Structure 1
Amino acid sequence: MADWIYILNPNKDTLDGEPSDKETMLRLAEEEPALELWLSRRNRMKTGDRLWFFFTHPESAVAAVAEVDEEPWDDPEDPDVPYLVGATLLTAATRALYRVPVSRDELGLGQVRSVQTVKPQALPVLLKRAGL
């Protein structure tokens, strides 16, 4: 199993037309936890991997987590979207992270990219904060 940071900028990104902020993510975790997310690269994601959602604004922090349901796939119907990945938000863990997010400093994040692996030293903090 691998752990990935998935970057969301609430000022630019949307989730089915809704703002990609931590409030929307918490509501989705409680009401509609299944997601299809855009990826610029296939990466090496596998079923069972975790996606930790890092929100860039207003507070730079991880405040939600999901489990990958299936490996990324091509979207031949939309040439602007290279890959999609199916994931399900983990409701209890997302609630815990919503209450006490993991800050950028705690993650040791340098340059922010759309998707990157979690640094080994950050994983224990994420797991503990999420109650996993």
Structure 2
Amino acid sequence: MADWIYILDPRRDTLDGEPSDKETMLQLAQEEPALELWLGRRNRMGPGDRLWFFFSRPEAAVAAVAEVDEEPRSDDEDPDIPFVVPVTLLTEATKSLYRDPVSRDELGLGQVRSVQKVKPEALPVLLARAGL
């Protein structure tokens, strides 16, 4: 199992047509937790991996988490999206992170990319804040 950081910028990214902010993610976790997310590259994600959502604005922090349901696959329907990965938001863990997000400093993030592995030293604080 691996843990990944998935970067969302609420100014330009959307989730099912809604802004990609932590409020929308909390609502999705409670009402429609199954999502398909786009990836710029395939990565080596597998079922059971966790995807931690880092919101770049207004507060740069992780405030939601999902479990990867299937390996990333090519999106044959949209040539502008190279890969998609099916995930399910973890409702209770997302509620916990929403109330007490993990800041960029606590994660030890330098330059952020769209998807990257969680640093081993950041994982304990993510798990604790999510109640996992």
Q: Which TM-score applies when normalising by structure 2? A: 0.99
**One-letter amino acid matched to 2:2:** A
* CA apart distance, 1:65: 0.1
Confirm or deny that 1:30 pairs with 2:21: no
Q: How far did 1:71 drift? A: 0.3
Post-superposition CA distance 1:22-50 (Å, at most 9, x none): 00000000000000000001000000000
Per the TM alignment, residue 16 of structure 1 is displaced from its structure 2 partner at its CA by: 1.2
Give the drift of 1:81.
0.2
Quick one: distance in 2 between partners of 1:5 and 1:75? 21
Aligned-pair identity (%):
80
Q: Which residue of 2 is the match for residue 118 of structure 1?
A: 118
CA distance in 1, matches of 2:77, 2:10: 26
Rounded to whole Å, the distance in 1 between the matches of 2:7 and 2:128 is 20
Unaligned ranges ≥5, structure 2:
none
Cα deviation, residue 76, structure 1: 1.4
RMSD over equivalenced CA pairs, Å = 0.3
Distance 1:16 1:28 in 2: 9
Residues 1:66 and 2:66 are matched in the alignment? yes
Query: 1:93 aligned to 2:93?
Result: yes
Residue identity in the other structure for 1:121: E
The number of residues matched between the two structures is 132
Distance 1:77 1:59 in 2: 34
C-alpha separation between the residues in 1 aligned to 2:2 and 2:29? 21
* Superposed structure 1 runs of 4+ greater than 6 Å apart: none
SS at 1:105 equivalent: helix
Cα distance, 1:21 vs structure 2: 0.2
Verify: 1:103 aligned to 2:89, yes or no.
no
CA distance in 1, matches of 2:31, 2:16: 14
Tell me which residue corresponds to 2:20: 20
- Residue deviations 1:59-80 (CA, integer Å, cap 9, x gap): 0000000000000000112110
TM-score relative to the length of structure 1: 0.99
- Cα deviation code 1:47-100 (max 9, x no counterpart): 000000000000000000000000000011211000000000000000000000
The answer to whether the aligner puts 1:79 opposite 2:79 as a matched pair is: yes
